Amino acid sequence: MDGTEGPASKNGVPKDIQKMFAEGDLVVYPNHGAGRVTGIEEKTVLGEVRRYYVVYLPDAELTVSIPADGDTGLRACADEESLAKALTLLRADATQMPSNWNQRLKHNREKIGSGEISQVAEVIRNLSAYSVEHVLSTGERNMLMKARQILASEIALVRGTEVTEAEKLVDDALRADAKGGAE
């Protein structure tokens, strides 16, 4: 952090500071997961030269170009402390969600779209807990799978492990919650 003041988001980064990334930086692209900036390039689009981050998403084996200007939601990967907090969130009690499936879907889509690791963890925890007593809609099942993929990809990239190991950490955290609730 460069000491610039501004309203902070939940992950501690001021919202009014446009983060500049460099080649090699680990980043998270909301709705897609974690990746590494493999380059920065300029492209001419509609006669205007624009800068783009080239990001490789190893979990999806996909390379995407993300505009470097504007609010794309791209953020730096969480540090170890934030990862630990997200895994702890998975163990916490579920929070209230809207009763209507369509409203739940919108509510959770906004959380995932925020790009914040804690919000993604909440979606996983809440939908997992909800699915124990209710049938998830197809959209909610897909959302739960996507949220798990996003969180696992970030854990794997930050910790330098395989995604399967990160998925096991997520599963273990969710199981710890189930054991704690049953006692």
- Quick: pLDDT tens for 81-118: 999 999 999 999 999 998 888 899 999 999 998 889 99
pLDDT of residue 82: 95
Whether residue 175 lies inside any domain: the answer is yes
Q: How far from 151 is each of 8, 70, 131, 161, 164, CA to CA, in Å?
A: 22, 24, 19, 13, 12
pLDDT of residue 178: 58
Token pair 């490789």 is found at: 56
Whether residue 52 lies inside any domain: the answer is no
Antiparallel, parallel or unpaired: β 75-76 and 48-57: unpaired
Whether residue 63 lies inside any domain: the answer is no
Whether residue 93 lies inside any domain: the answer is yes
* Three-state DSSP class for residue 65: strand
In angstroms, rounded to a whole number, what is the distance separating the alpha carbons of residues 132 and 128?
7
Whether residue 159 lies inside any domain: the answer is yes
Write the CATH number for 144. Answer: 1.20.58.1290
Is the model's pLDDT at 16 over the cut of 50? Answer: no
Is the model's pLDDT at 76 over the cut of 50? Answer: yes
Whether residue 133 lies inside any domain: the answer is yes
- Say which DSSP state 8 is in: B
- Give the H/E segment covering residue 41: strand 33-45
Where residue 177 falls among pLDDT bands split at 50, 70, 90?
low
pLDDT over 90 percentage in the chain: 69
Is the model's pLDDT at 182 over the cut of 60? Answer: no
pLDDT of residue 45: 85
Q: How many domains does the chain have?
A: 1
Give the structural domain span for 129. Answer: 80-182
* Three-state DSSP class for residue 52: strand
Whether residue 86 lies inside any domain: the answer is yes
Whether residue 73 lies inside any domain: the answer is no
Burial class (CB in 10 A: 0-12, 13-18, 19+), 18: exposed
Question: Which of 20, 3, 9, 14 has its CA nearest to residue 117?
Answer: 9
